[in-house]
Amino acid sequence: MYKIVKKNSLTPVICLMDVEAHRMAASAQPGQFLIVRTHEQGERIPLTICDYDKERGTVTIVTQAVGASSRMICHLEEGDSFTDFVGPLGKPSEFIHWPDEEIAGKKFLFVAGGLGAAPVYPQAKYLHAKGAHVDVIMGARNSELLIFEKEMGEVSDNLYICTDDGSKGEKGLVTNIIDKLMAEGKSYDHAVAIGPMIMMKFATLTMKKYNIPLTVSLNTIMVDGTGMCGACRVTVGGQTRFACVDGPEFDAYQVDFDEAMRRQSMYKELEVEADHKCNIGLHR
């Protein structure tokens, strides 16, 4: 069992938890994910690793209550435990392998959509600490779905916020902010976009205009998360890849987003029928 040592409600529908998992805390790196189960009959739910504390032996996750399984996570309280908590899974972000001197002074742009702020945070933190210039765009449907504003501010040079309804920051989409920054003459060596599949698709189309290398993190359907089932297969550069072991991060310009979105909706009908399933993709 994996004990929840801290729980914070970030917004009425989003909660943050620090979970005791010593081995995982010691080995987790930016870009990786984990899988949880809340009870014996529960699904294996993939979530991104949002932070980790090697000394305390805890791993931080963020969950938005959108369906039955994610609601079950959010209903757990401090002192409760997850039945299963496994990871880190997937490959770490590519820049983990870059030498420090290559990172220092490089300019990164992160684009976080909704809960995508959770996986963006450890990446921005890692790069910022190594002396990179880090700008972050955070977007959400409304202010209630915006998280990590303060934390992200601490690990970035510039933080830009937008909401679809204008309830916080600029009114508009993350792609509008990308265009605006570019119009202002900003330049970046590398960009990373993480959020709902549709947001990553449009961030990719926008970023392509400016010729900036872009990485996305794909939140596909998964069962085992270790390469066994192939539920997460995506077409990248014309090849079938498994998001769980070949990713989750890929070169955005090679990803077939339309196929990925279609595959992500595979169990939607069953979910509606049973009224107890959520779109796993929204967890991450």
| Site of interaction with another protein (CB under 8 A) | 23-24, 27, 32, 37, 41-44, 68-69, 83-89, 223-224, 226-231, 233-235, 240, 245, 259, 262-263, 265-267, 270-271, 274, 276-277
In whole angstroms, how close is the CB of 89 to another protein at the nearest point?
6
In whole angstroms, how close is the CB of 197 to another protein at the nearest point?
14
Of the pair 98, 267, the CB lying nearest another protein is at: 267
In whole angstroms, how close is the CB of 202 to another protein at the nearest point?
20
Place of tokens 């702020």: 117
Rg, C-alpha atoms of the chain: 18
Of the pair 52, 160, the CB lying nearest another protein is at: 52
d(CA 53, CA 56): 6
Cα angle 145-210-136, degrees, rounded to a multiple of 5: 30
Of the pair 33, 126, the CB lying nearest another protein is at: 33
Find out whether 62 and 147 touch, Cβ atoms under 8 Å: yes
In whole angstroms, how close is the CB of 235 to another protein at the nearest point?
6
Of the pair 67, 196, the CB lying nearest another protein is at: 67
How many CA atoms lie less than 13 Å away from 156 in the CB half-sphere? Answer: 25
For 140, the token pair is: 């959400």
The four Cα atoms 224, 228, 234, 239 give a dihedral, to 10 degrees, of 160
In whole angstroms, how close is the CB of 242 to another protein at the nearest point?
8
The four Cα atoms 250, 233, 195, 185 give a dihedral, to 10 degrees, of 30
What residues contact residue 261 under an 8 Å CB cut-off, 6+ apart?
A: 197, 198, 201
In whole angstroms, how close is the CB of 270 to another protein at the nearest point?
5
Of the pair 132, 234, the CB lying nearest another protein is at: 234
Of the pair 135, 271, the CB lying nearest another protein is at: 271
